[in-house]
Amino acid sequence: MPLLEVQDAVVRFGGVVAVNEANFTAEAGRITGLIGPNGAGKTTCFNVITGLQKPTSGTVHFDGRNITSTPVHRRARRGMARTFQRLEAFGSLTVRDNVRVAHDIAAGFRGVIRPAGADVDALLERVGISDYAQERADSIPTGTARLLELARCLASEPRLLLLDEPSSGLDDRETDAFGELLASLASEGTAILMVEHDMDLVMSVCDTIHVLDFGSVIASGTPAEIRADATVQKAYLGYSDDVEGTRSDLDAIGDTTVIPAVEAS
Ligand SMILES: Nc1ncnc2c1ncn2[C@@H]1O[C@H](COP(=O)(O)OP(=O)(O)OP(=O)(O)O)[C@@H](O)[C@H]1O
């Protein structure tokens, strides 16, 4: 059974259907990508999963339980952690203290009181930002701040890690290291669900990819299956199946750093 199961989710904002009968899953020990053009509904899906947005209809199951109406903090206690596109760290605290606060809150949830020092240092080391430990969070580069967000999430030892555009701001070397870190987290059993525009990263680290377009899941499969899917190509680049040259465009997904933005309208 998948750790996370979103079934027939619909979210309407007035006349806008942001999520339209979406079905997808994320499994323990696997990295799952949620991709799609701008405005496809990816962030709204994350909001439904984490409880920030109540779906108009449909359900969310986590570890076999229906959590569709469960408040955000209870979902967090059950093992969900999320990073945001917008960075959320406390700017006036050091990098280390930011992780320490997250650690202490998580430890409080679990009723475990133990010295944070070694755990915090290990987290900083793991995400590769130990050198910034004593810097104020509002003074570090964006890429480092994203890694800080991840460290803060990992402090809660999540079973499901939701990452919203985690690689933006990372350079190529940092992105490679980040991919390796995700693989290592998954190998320990963490389920990772990632919204990401960097197709090279998505294609190289994801076990499964779900593609959203206008709120609907138009394809689900392995990176190879998604790369070969003409419907996906059409959603991203506007080509139809019978246009000559589509094959090479399909092959190009994953060879470019960023998917061309296609505005939903
Ligand atoms: N609170 C809201 N009120 C009204 N419309 C909204 C709201 N939130 C999102 N939308 C609309 O729902 C659709 C899906 O938005 P969403 O942010 O989920 O897409 P996305 O795939 O995450 O886009 P991006 O890649 O640009 O972040 C868009 O048309 C967006 O304008």
User: What ipTM goes with this model?
Assistant: 0.96
Q: How confident is the model at residue 247 (pLDDT cuts 50, 70, 90)?
A: very low
Q: How confident is the model at residue 265 (pLDDT cuts 50, 70, 90)?
A: very low
Burial of 131 (0-12, 13-18, 19+ CB in 10 A): exposed
- Gyration radius of the chain's alpha carbons: 19
Least confident of 166-170, 229-233, 235-239, 254-258: 254-258
Our answer on whether the CB atom of 261 is closer than 6 Å to any ligand 1 atom is no
Q: Could you tell me which CATH number the domain at 4-79+158-252 has?
A: 3.40.50.300
Token representation of residue 216: 């609907």
List pLDDT tens digits, range 5-16.
999 999 999 999
Arithmetic mean of pLDDT, 155-176: 91
pLDDT score, position 251: 46
Nearest Cα to 161, choosing from 3, 24, 40, 8? Answer: 3
Nearest protein Cα to ligand 1, atom 12: 18
pLDDT score, position 176: 92
Our answer on whether the CB atom of 156 is closer than 6 Å to any ligand 1 atom is no
> How many CB atoms lie under 10 A from the CB of residue 258?
10
Residue 243 has pLDDT above 70, yes or no: no
Highest mean pLDDT among 108-122, 207-221, 223-237: 207-221
Token representation of residue 262: 């296609």
Contact (Cβ atoms closer than 8 angstroms) between residue 226 and residue 219: yes
Residue 138 has pLDDT above 70, yes or no: yes
Our answer on whether the CB atom of 37 is closer than 6 Å to any ligand 1 atom is no
pLDDT score, position 257: 37
pLDDT score, position 259: 42
Our answer on whether the CB atom of 13 is closer than 6 Å to any ligand 1 atom is yes
Residue 88 and residue 105: Cα distance in Å, rounded? 15
Question: Structure pTM?
Answer: 0.86
Token representation of residue 142: 């964006």
pLDDT score, position 239: 55
Neighbouring residues of 196: CB distance < 8 A, sequence distance ≥ 6:
33, 35, 163, 165, 166, 167, 202
List pLDDT tens digits, range 43-93.
999 999 999 999 999 999 999 999 999 999 899 989 999 987 776 778 778
List pLDDT tens digits, range 169-221.
888 988 998 999 999 999 999 999 999 989 999 999 999 999 999 999 999 99
pLDDT score, position 158: 93
Our answer on whether the CB atom of 259 is closer than 6 Å to any ligand 1 atom is no
Least confident of 70-79, 102-111, 128-137, 179-188: 102-111
Our answer on whether the CB atom of 264 is closer than 6 Å to any ligand 1 atom is yes
Please tell me the distance between residue 16's alpha carbon and the centre of ligand 1 in angstroms: 9
| Average pLDDT value for the chain | 85
Please tell me the distance between residue 17's alpha carbon and the centre of ligand 1 in angstroms: 9
Contact (Cβ atoms closer than 8 angstroms) between residue 56 and residue 81: no
Which of 36 and 256 is assigned the larger pLDDT? 36
Our answer on whether the CB atom of 41 is closer than 6 Å to any ligand 1 atom is yes
Nearest protein Cα to ligand 1, atom 2: 13
By most ligand atoms within 8 Å of CB, the mutation choice from 13, 195, 210, 262 for ligand 1 is 13
Residue 242 and residue 158: Cα distance in Å, rounded? 45
pLDDT score, position 90: 80
φ, ψ for residue 133, nearest 5 deg: -50, -40
Contact (Cβ atoms closer than 8 angstroms) between residue 103 and residue 119: yes
Q: How confident is the model at residue 135 (pLDDT cuts 50, 70, 90)?
A: confident
